[in-house]
Structure 1
Amino acid sequence: MTDISLAKALKIITAAFAAGKEHGFKPLSVVVLDAGGHVKAFQRQDGASMMRFEIASGKAYGALAVGAGSRWLNAQAETRPHFLEGLSAVSGGRIVAVPGGVLIRDRKNAIIGAVGVTGDTSDNDERAAVAGIEAAGFTPDAG
């Protein structure tokens, strides 16, 4: 399994911020987690509101927890609310089931981490995460 280096994590964040700037997104916050759910890097743009670390990490953590991007979790919340209630309970409320949590896959398609982005609409957060992951040479999996 490929480990995600600090340099690659910072590249993901920088590219996600650049995508946000290019598309006129509101101030973003981006977290990169390794495959074990540990924070590799986090940055918050000037003007980002409070609780952004918790939201971004909840999106990424949820993606890692189920092995699918948080877009999939969002769909499950709509069609299987009891599943999400249970998942939330067993995770201690750590999971945020909306788009913006994207798995990072290496060249062998192994999950090596996840990115969580928050600050704009969930769809735009996801776009920024995907841009960051691709810029670092990995494959995004949004679910």
Structure 2
Amino acid sequence: MSTTAVTPLTSADAEALIAAARAAAEGAGIPVSVTVLDAGGHLLAFRRDETAVLISGETSTRKAYTALQLNSPTADLVDLVKPDGPFHSLPTALDKPLLFIAGGLPIHRDGHLIGAIGIGGGAPEQDHSFATTALKKLS
């Protein structure tokens, strides 16, 4: 049996993701916070535009954490936690910083989960778009 090493998410990758996300948000005139986590959920990089709402720092981090833990874009999880959804109790059942609002994306390399990005500050659809744009710059 052979194993192939996957290059982990680096600080340089994280900085490139933040720059690309911020450029996309600036182009839309939206001040944001951007969080990049490694595969273990540890903070690799964070940036909050000075005019972004303060809570965006927390929401960007929670979106990234949620995307990482569930290996899914947070936009795909929103309906699952509604009162009739299968994950309805998940946000309160665990003592974890989960947030089921669009704007968090898992990051994969060679088919392996290596981290996540979360963006807060815009409307959920905007945050998701900025994160998607940033990931395109990484590949």
Q: Of Structure 1 and Structure 2, which has the larger fraction of its residues in helix?
A: 1
Q: Over the residues paired in the alignment, what is the CA RMSD in angstroms? A: 1.6
Is 1:131 matched with 2:136?
Answer: no
Q: Which aligned segments of 4 or more residues in structure 1 are displaced greater than 4 angstroms?
A: 79-82
Aligned to 1:85: 89
Structure-2-length-normalised TM-score = 0.88
Q: 1:131 to 1:51 in 2, by over 3 A?
A: same
Is 1:73 matched with 2:77?
Answer: yes
Q: 1:45 aligns with which of 33, 40, 49?
A: 49
> What is the distance in 2 between the residues matched to 1:6 and 1:116?
16
Unmatched 5+ residue regions in structure 1?
138-143
> Shift of residue 73 of structure 1?
1.6
Structure-1-length-normalised TM-score = 0.86
Aligned to 2:106: 103
> For the pair shown, which has the larger CA radius of gyration, 1 or 2?
2
Unmatched 5+ residue regions in structure 2?
1-5
> What is the distance in 1 between the residues matched to 2:44 and 2:84?
32
Deviations 1:69-127 (A, max 9, x none): 1012212123644624234421x251110110011111x22111100000000010011
Aligned residues: 134
* 111-120 vs 47-56, greater mean Cα deviation: 47-56
Could you say what secondary structure the match of 2:89 adopts? helix
Aligned to 2:114: 112
Could you say what secondary structure the match of 2:15 adopts? helix
